[in-house]
């Protein structure tokens, strides 16, 4: 049976990425050795690292003055590296969900944090904050462009009076981004790019070096810029896989085409959720993510929650269970997920409706 991979992360990758990585694990670039056992200092790998950087710059049209880094530690390490490198006194955070909350919590270790959220009292992350003012005296403003868990997404590049920092873990390369609006963009690779193990950082160099405290070498972006992401041993396997995915994106029309496909896929699923009398989504219409679609059975059909999950899983729909913190279902529609998989999910939802309601 064909499996349709809706996991939120690690997640579906292009077949070319999987096959090419397997090949390189057998033998890397004609070296007679596996990618898993070569030194990262050999010229064949140095050229992979250079290609990773240049494909990032090309596909995202990154302007002059920015550096692209490949680091360890996941997006979660960036939650502390960002304030450590950028915060003198005060930062502002847009709290749009679980990951944004985690980033904010780390920032509080380094100074004053202004929190902006839609619902200051409750826990409602189904709507994005609007009409807020970014404090002009903050050292930076941090946003999480895609809320992987609740399924909201900031799908435009905002103007900010202070340096704008974005966690784009789960929507990088899903649409064209005006990088010039951002001082720093980071993300774990395991949503739209590669297997887990590498974190990308796109940073405008002029925002660095403004804090007065000392920064440990490993946590200082300038160390990694100076050493070309080879200060210590980089995660060579996911970096190689990322290059294969970037080549795939480029060969498939770049981020503009990725966005067209993603909008189309998301529309197919959201339309069905609205049409189908068993399901609904609480996510505010204007704020819906095209990467992670959150939905649930309607309250009056609550008893069917587990039954639908079983029904769908039995037909190869994998990874639909929502995050443990919010329940419900979540279908992740990353770049590499084919439109056919979304169409299959819609068919399964229709079959289930017919089976239950006739």
Ligand X SMILES: *Cc1c(COP(=O)(O)O)cnc(C)c1O
Cβ atoms of 97 and 132 closer than 8 Å: no
Query: Using the rule CB under 6 A, is 99 a contact of ligand X?
Result: yes
Q: How many residues does the chain have?
A: 358
- Please report, as residue ranges, which positions from 5 to 24 form the binding site for ligand X (by CB under 6 A): 9
Per DSSP, the residues of 193-221 read TSSTT-EEEEEEGGGSS---S---GGG-H
- Please, what is the Cα angle at 244 between 13 and 205, to 5 degrees? 105
Q: Going residue by residue from 239 to 258, which x/- string records binding to ligand X, judged by CB under 6 A? A: --------------------
Number of shown-chain residues binding ligand X (CB under 6 A): 12
Tell me the CA distances in angstroms from 193 to 204, 327, 354, one per residue in order: 22, 26, 37
Q: Which residue, 292, 262, 297, 8, is CA-closest to 126?
A: 292
Least Å distance, CB 39 to ligand X, is 26
Query: Is 191 labeled as catalytic in the residue annotation?
Result: yes
Name the active-site residue from 139, 167, 171, 220: 167
Nearer to ligand X, 169 or 229 (CB): 169
Exactly one of 14, 188, 319, 328 binds ligand X (CB under 6 A); that residue is: 188
Exactly one of 95, 144, 192, 229 binds ligand X (CB under 6 A); that residue is: 144
Q: Which residue, 65, 61, 28, is CA-closest to 47?
A: 28
Cβ atoms of 173 and 335 closer than 8 Å: yes
Query: Using the rule CB under 6 A, is 76 a contact of ligand X?
Result: yes
Query: Is 90 labeled as catalytic in the residue annotation?
Result: no
Query: Using the rule CB under 6 A, is 192 a contact of ligand X?
Result: no
Tokens of 123: 């826990």
Cβ atoms of 193 and 21 closer than 8 Å: no
Indicate the helix (H) or strand (E) that contains 147: strand 146-147
Query: Is 167 labeled as catalytic in the residue annotation?
Result: yes
Nearer to ligand X, 82 or 349 (CB): 82
Tokens of 277: 């009398």
The span from the CA of 247 to the CA of 48, in Å, is 12
Exactly one of 17, 96, 127, 169 binds ligand X (CB under 6 A); that residue is: 169
Where does this chain touch ligand X (CB under 6 A) — which range of 132-140, 163-171, 261-269, 318-326?
Answer: 163-171
- Please report, as residue ranges, which positions from 264 to 323 form the binding site for ligand X (by CB under 6 A): none
Name the active-site residue from 43, 131, 178, 191: 191
Name the active-site residue from 99, 171, 287, 321: 99
Computed on alpha carbons and rounded to an integer, the radius of gyration of the chain in Å comes to: 21
Nearer to ligand X, 75 or 183 (CB): 75
Q: What are the catalytic residues?
A: 99, 167, 191
Binding site for ligand X (CB under 6 A): 9, 74-76, 99, 144, 148, 167, 169-170, 188, 191
């Amino acid at each position: 049976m064909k499996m349709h991979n809706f996991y939120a992360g690690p997640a579906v990758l292009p077949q070319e990425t999987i096959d090419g990585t397997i090949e390189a694990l057998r033998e890397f670039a004609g070296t007679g050795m596996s990618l898993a056992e070569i030194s990262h200092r050999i010229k064949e790998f140095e050229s992979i690292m250079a290609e990773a950087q240049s494909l990032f710059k090309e596909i995202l049209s990154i302007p002059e003055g920015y550096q692209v880094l490949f680091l360890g530690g996941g997006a979660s390490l960036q939650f502390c590296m960002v304030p450590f490198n950028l915060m003198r006194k005060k930062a502002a955070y847009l709290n749009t969900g679980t990951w944004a909350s985690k980033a904010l919590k780390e920032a509080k270790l380094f100074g004053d944090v202004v929190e902006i959220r839609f619902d200051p009292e409750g826990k409602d992350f189904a709507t994005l904050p609007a009409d807020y003012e970014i404090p002009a005296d903050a050292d930076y403003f941090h946003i999480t462009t895609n809320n992987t868990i609740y399924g909201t997404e900031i799908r435009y590049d905002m103007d900010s009076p202070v340096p704008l920092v974005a966690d784009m873990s789960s929507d990088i390369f899903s649409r064209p981004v005006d990088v010039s609006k951002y001082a720093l963009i980071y993300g774990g690779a395991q949503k739209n790019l590669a297997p887990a193990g590498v974190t990308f950082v796109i940073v405008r160099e002029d925002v660095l070096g403004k804090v007065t405290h000392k920064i440990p070498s490993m946590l200082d972006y300038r160390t990694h810029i100076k050493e070309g992401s080879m200060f210590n041993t980089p995660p060579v396997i996911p970096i190689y896989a990322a290059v294969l995915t970037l080549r795939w994106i480029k060969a498939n029309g770049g981020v503009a085409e990725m966005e067209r496909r993603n909008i189309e896929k998301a529309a197919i699923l959201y339309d069905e959720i609205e049409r189908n009398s068993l399901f609904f989504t609480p996510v505010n219409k204007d704020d819906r993510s095209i990467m992670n679609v959150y939905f649930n059975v309607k309250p009056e059909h609550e008893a069917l929650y587990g039954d639908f999950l079983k029904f769908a899983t039995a037909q190869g729909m994998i990874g639909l269970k929502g995050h443990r913190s919010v329940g419900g279902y979540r279908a992740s529609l990353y770049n590499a997920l084919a439109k056919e998989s979304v169409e299959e999910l819609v068919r399964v939802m229709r079959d289930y409706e017919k089976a239950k309601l006739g």
